Amino acid sequence: MQEHCREYLEHYLNSLPKEIAQQYQSFSADYFCASQHSADLCAKLIFCGEKRATCSMDYWYRHAGETRPMPGHLQVVTTFSGEPVCVIETLSVTTCRYCDVTAEFAFAEGEGDKTLKWWQKAHWDFFSKECAELGIEPNEQMLLVLEHFKVVYPRSV
């Protein structure tokens, strides 16, 4: 984690009672999405409370060695350029097939027009590109990791 993000996280942790701050053991700092435009837009959506969920392919955790998200994890959400925007806490983590994602989850993701139809198109395009890079085929049965989170420490965007 870059120093300025670590300092931002420490400001949040120092604002908590010591016994609560000590309960947090998992931390990261990163932007959402894969392009500058999308990352900066997602940071704004998270900051203002529109985006309260995200998802990724389970493949990354089972085959690519990524650490699986877990409730209680704190993430410094950054812009694409790495500037801290807010801190989020992961509330829940579940798995779901792409074809079984609900309209409620699509709405919680807070992107586009927040409909399931928009979510399916945008995420099919996104996951298809990821699959092509990994040399695997996307399919309606692909397993996703769904995360719900809340903003716990805001900063003006």
Q: What is the pLDDT of residue 64?
A: 78
* Encoded tokens for 142: 């692909």
103 with 115: CB under 8 angstroms? yes
Structure-model confidence comparison of residues 67 and 144, the more confident one: 144
* Encoded tokens for 106: 């699509």
33 with 45: CB under 8 angstroms? no
Query: What superfamily does domain 3-154 belong to in CATH?
Result: Sulfate adenylyltransferase (3.10.400.10)
Cα 109 from Cα 103, distance rounded (Å):
10
143 with 101: CB under 8 angstroms? no
Amino acid at 105: F
Amino acid at 140: E
Q: What is the pLDDT of residue 155?
A: 60
* Encoded tokens for 112: 């586009």
Cα 129 from Cα 144, distance rounded (Å):
15
Q: What is the pLDDT of residue 90?
A: 98
Q: What is the pLDDT of residue 157?
A: 46
Is residue 133 classed as helix, strand or coil in its secondary structure? Answer: helix
